[in-house]
Amino acid sequence: MGAKKKKIVKTIKVDVDKCNGCRACEVVCSAFHAAPKYSSNNPARSRIRVIHDPLKDIYVPVYAGEHAKAECMGRDKYTIDGKEYEECAFCRAACPSRDIFREPDSGLPLKCDMCESDPPQSEPLCVQWCITDALTYEEREEEVEEEEAAGGKDLEMGLESLIDKFGLEKLTEAVARMTIARKS
Q: Which residue type does 14 have?
A: V
Question: How far is CA 154 from its chain centroid?
Answer: 12
Which CB sits closer to ligand SF4, 113 or 154? 113
131 or 176: whose CB is closer to ligand SF4?
131
Query: What minimum distance in Å lies between the beta carbon of 145 and ligand SF4?
Result: 25
Name the residues that contact ligand SF4, by CB under 6 A: 19-25, 29, 32, 47-48, 50, 59, 61, 63, 112-115, 124-126, 129-130, 132, 134-135
What φ, ψ does residue 20 adopt, rounded to 5°?
-105, 5
Q: How far is the CB of 123 from ligand SF4 (least distance, A)?
A: 9
At residue 41, the 3 state secondary structure works out as: coil
Residue 114: CB atoms within 10 A of its CB come to 21
Give least dist CB 62 to ligand SF4, A: 10
- Which is closer to ligand SF4, CB of 132 or CB of 172? 132
Q: How far apart are the first and last CA of the chain?
A: 41
